[in-house]
Amino acid sequence: MVITSAQVPLWLLPTPTHILKAFWETRQLIWMHTLTTLMETTMGFALAVIFSLITSGVMVLSPWLKRLLYPFLIISQTVPLIAVAPLLILWLGYGLLPKIIIVVIVCYFPVTISLIEGLELSDPDLLNLLRSMGASRWQMFYIVRWPHALPSLFAGLKIAATYSVMGAVIAEWLGSSAGLGVYLTRSSHSFLTDRVFAAIFTITALSFLYYALITILTRLALPWMHNKKRDSLE
């Protein structure tokens, strides 16, 4: 009503009705692009988690490796993603692979840092007890460090889940034939602002979906944390 009374051009700021209409009229097209973005995001996020689990465990079990690799981990985040993405597309083409790699780069850092911090915050008394009983590093890792690190791991996963969709969309902006980033760019260049808003809402919904899935997994994997928060509220 405010937009209509102010006589704002629809190409500049469409009304919610026009946005819903554009979403409905292009639902099949949006769904097709959404599937591509979902594939890139899911594969990239899964690979990032796998790499994070491996490198975090190795860096915690081997302090000298951590001193060697940690600076490179920090440096990797100082390089702008907008500068790396065109190079990956130039080297690897316009297929799914460069988009997946970009999602991996975006998601890898928060998961790895969160997991390393969680693994290193284990109770020293429990570690000393196991060490006095002759436990190996791997046994201390499995019995003490890993369970204590799970809350930090899932916190990092929540951050990475919201970043993953953004990484895929940015990669699609720079060069792709399908995906929500492509749909968003084409709509913007055609001054179809209602479709731009439809794409934005879809991207937001996807990010929320990934966050919700991680939240559900957190409650399933850490039921005592949920019960503790509920008891504190009561």
State how far the Cα of 35 lies from the Cα of 98, in Å rounded to an integer.
17
User: Quick check: is 38 in a domain?
Assistant: yes
Mean pLDDT computed over 103-131 = 85
User: Quick check: is 58 in a domain?
Assistant: yes
Positive or negative, the CA dihedral 84, 88, 90, 95 is: negative
Pairwise pLDDT comparison (6 vs 31), residue with the higher score = 31
Q: Residue 61: left if φ>0, alpha if ψ -120 to 50, beta else—which one?
A: alpha
Predicted model pTM: 0.85
For 118, the domain range is 31-219
Q: In whole angstroms, how large is the CA radius of gyration of the chain?
A: 22
The CATH code of the domain that includes 136 is 1.10.3720.10
pLDDT higher than 50, residue 53:
yes
Say what the pLDDT of residue 233 is. 46
Go through the chain and tell me how many residues it has. 234
Say what the pLDDT of residue 5 is. 56
Mean pLDDT computed over 19-23 = 86
Say what the pLDDT of residue 206 is. 93
pLDDT higher than 70, residue 8:
no
User: Quick check: is 8 in a domain?
Assistant: no
Indicate the range of 104-118, 122-136, 140-154 predicted with least confidence: 122-136
Say what the pLDDT of residue 70 is. 85
State how far the Cα of 138 lies from the Cα of 49, in Å rounded to an integer.
20
User: Quick check: is 157 in a domain?
Assistant: yes
Say what the pLDDT of residue 229 is. 54
Say what the pLDDT of residue 172 is. 86
| Percent above pLDDT 70 for the chain | 90
State how far the Cα of 151 lies from the Cα of 153, in Å rounded to an integer.
5
pLDDT higher than 60, residue 116:
yes
| Percent above pLDDT 90 for the chain | 30
pLDDT, one tens digit per residue, over 65-95 is: 888 888 888 887 787 777 787 788 788 877 8
pLDDT higher than 70, residue 150:
yes
pLDDT higher than 60, residue 232:
no
Summary mean pLDDT of the chain: 83
User: Quick check: is 22 in a domain?
Assistant: no
User: Quick check: is 148 in a domain?
Assistant: yes
The Cα angle at residue 207 between residues 44 and 161, in degrees rounded to 5: 45
User: Quick check: is 59 in a domain?
Assistant: yes
pLDDT higher than 90, residue 192:
no
Pairwise pLDDT comparison (63 vs 2), residue with the higher score = 63
Mean pLDDT computed over 191-209 = 90
Q: How many domains does the chain have?
A: 1
Say what the pLDDT of residue 10 is. 59
User: Quick check: is 15 in a domain?
Assistant: no
Mean pLDDT computed over 220-224 = 79
State how far the Cα of 147 lies from the Cα of 218, in Å rounded to an integer.
13
Q: Which of 81, 103, 85, 89 is nearest to 168 (CA)?
A: 103
How confident is residue 47, by pLDDT bands cut at 50, 70 and 90? very high
